[in-house]
Amino acid sequence: MVAKESKPPKPLKVKSVPGLDIGPEELQMKQKADESLKKYWEFLDKPTEDGKPQFFEKKGILYRIYFGRQGEDAIVQLVVPKELRKKVVSLAHNTLLARHRGPAKTLSRVQEKFY
């Protein structure tokens, strides 16, 4: 009996999301140039009422910290410029680990890390 020659496994098909290969400097520029984020830059490091979102800057990049229900940990979210928002959702939806749980759960998962 002759053993069959094994074929190499086929590579996984992964959709790429063009435009998300940006560095911190480009993200900083996009955040500062985005008109929809101007009001959040004004809230930077200002004290807020309990439970209200707060914005802070780390290495020139704008983040939002959200305090949910009492007793829950604070959630830190990267503030995404308008031109990258669809790409971020696309990344969460089209990757191998996305698990396609439907639009509401995909959006919820994105909102855990991005604002």
pTM of the complete model: 0.67
pLDDT per position as a tens digit, 63-95? 988 776 666 778 888 899 999 888 877 776 665
Give 46: exposed, middle or buried? Use CB within 10 Å, 0-12, 13-18, 19+: exposed
Encode pLDDT of 14-73 as tens digits. Answer: 445 455 678 889 999 999 999 999 999 988 877 776 656 688 999 999 998 877 666 677
Token pair of 115 as six digits: 């604002």
Confidence category of residue 108, pLDDT binned at 50, 70, 90: low
**Separation between Cα atoms, residue 14 and residue 5, nearest integer Å:** 27
Closest CA to 95 of 77, 109, 78: 109
Domain 24-113 belongs in CATH node 1.10.3470: no
Of the CA atoms within 13 Å of residue 80, those in its CB half-sphere come to: 16
What integer pLDDT is reported at residue 14 of this predicted model?
46
The DSSP secondary structure of 5-53, one letter per residue, reads: PPPPPPPPP----TT----HHHHHHHHHH-GGGHHHHHTBT----TT--
What H or E segment, with its residue span, contains residue 89? helix 85-94
Amino acid, single-letter form, for residue 55: F
